[in-house]
Amino acid sequence: MTGLEDHLHGLWLPLVTPFHGGALDERSLRRLTRHYGAGAVDGFILGATSGEGMTLREAELERLVAVVRDEMAASGRTMPICLGLSGADTSRLKERLDETADWPIDGYLIASPYYVRPSQRGLLAHFQALADHAAWPLALYNIPYRTAVNITNQTLLRLAEHRNIVGLKDCGASREQSIALLRDRPKAFRVLTGEDANYFEALSDGADGGIVLSAHVETATFAAVHAELKRGNHDAALARWNEVAELTRLLFAEPSPAPAKYWLWRSGLIDSPEVRLPMVEVSSELAAAIDREIERRTKVAA
């Protein structure tokens, strides 16, 4: 698949990476891929924050991509896959781009350099260097509460001029900045929210879609919010959003993706709720709350 910008819209799932006994759980990964690949998801993000990418060895990350692509091919559905990459060393990231250039992906999601807090000139040079080097298109990931640096709109608009930078996962935590970017961006530059709790708000403001961890649960409802807004049915979209708004808070009540993994385990989609340190599994209190919500939604669906 080519032309990532043509597919960077709608509901994207930052797929969790299942583990069992400390290893990549390929059986659960295949089950997840089949389940979500048959639904209303428009694309997968692999190995990013929700996929615990920073804990994955290179061989595990490569296997993750291969298994997901293999399952998608077996299902007969074509769906774009973006690989999450992050780091604070531009040179090393260029090497990672080389190492993954022949993987069966359609693009990259690349976060700002963390910890070092570069200037805007530094961010501009960093992302331009990566975009010049990459074999696949780039979507940028602005999440200053994790990286300690915000990519300003002035910088983003400069980067949007690059032929190989096609979009943004927006976790900037400033609605004012997001609205201004949506107003001023080039037509072909896609903006997807990455803030689950602000999904409806961002779509209402004109975002092209969302990269939504909470859509591991009630996937069709999250997709319906986008579809109804696209059709101009604001009230219908709001009604669907109200069905899942509290869910986004529950799944982020403790560090993600542990709550989502616990839900998926209790639902039988993965064989273990394991996360890798420094992440830990959910507390007994949150586990009980999730159990109650699963039971409630099961009764409602019945």
Whether 261 is catalytic is no
What mean pLDDT do residues 9-30 have? 98
Cβ atoms of residues 159 and 128 within 8 Å? yes
Whole-number pLDDT of residue 257: 98
How far is Cα 239 from Cα 242, in angstroms, rounded to an integer? 5
Whole-number pLDDT of residue 173: 85
194 pLDDT more than 80: yes
Residue 106 within a domain: yes
User: pLDDT tens-digit profile of 129-161?
Assistant: 999 999 999 999 999 999 999 999 999 999 999
CA 131, 134, 137: angle at the middle one, nearest 5?
Answer: 70
Residue 18 within a domain: yes
pLDDT band at 240 (very low <50, low <70, confident <90, very high): very high
Q: Catalytic one among 108, 169, 199, 262?
A: 169
Total number of domains constituting the chain: 1
How far is Cα 230 from Cα 60, in angstroms, rounded to an integer? 38
Residue 250 within a domain: no
pLDDT band at 3 (very low <50, low <70, confident <90, very high): confident
How far is Cα 132 from Cα 127, in angstroms, rounded to an integer? 8
Structural domain boundaries, residue 39: 4-245
1 pLDDT more than 80: no
Residue 174 within a domain: yes
DSSP category for residue 141: E
pLDDT band at 34 (very low <50, low <70, confident <90, very high): very high
What mean pLDDT do residues 243-253 have? 98
Whether 230 is catalytic is no
Whole-number pLDDT of residue 206: 97
As a whole-number percent, the residues of the chain with pLDDT over 90 amount to 95
300 pLDDT more than 90: no
Nearest Cα neighbor of 50 from 180, 183, 143 is: 143
Residue 292 within a domain: no
How far is Cα 254 from Cα 264, in angstroms, rounded to an integer? 15
Residue 131 within a domain: yes
Q: Catalytic one among 36, 141, 199, 262?
A: 141
Whole-number pLDDT of residue 175: 96
Cis peptide upstream of residue 137 (ω within 30 degrees of 0) = no
Whole-number pLDDT of residue 178: 98
Q: Is the pTM of this model over 0.95?
A: yes
Residue 288 within a domain: no
Task: Among 69-78, 131-140, 195-204, name the one with the lowest average pLDDT.
Answer: 69-78
Residue 265 within a domain: no
Whole-number pLDDT of residue 301: 81
Q: Residue 69 maps to which CATH number?
A: 3.20.20.70
pLDDT band at 2 (very low <50, low <70, confident <90, very high): low
Whole-number pLDDT of residue 77: 85
Please, is 278 exposed, middle or buried when counting C-beta atoms within 10 Å of its C-beta (0-12, 13-18, 19+)?
exposed
The phi and psi torsions of 189 (rounded to 5 degrees) equal: -85, 115
Cβ atoms of residues 83 and 108 within 8 Å? yes
How far is Cα 239 from Cα 244, in angstroms, rounded to an integer? 9
Whole-number pLDDT of residue 156: 98
Task: Among 7-16, 51-60, 69-78, 244-253, name the one with the lowest average pLDDT.
Answer: 69-78
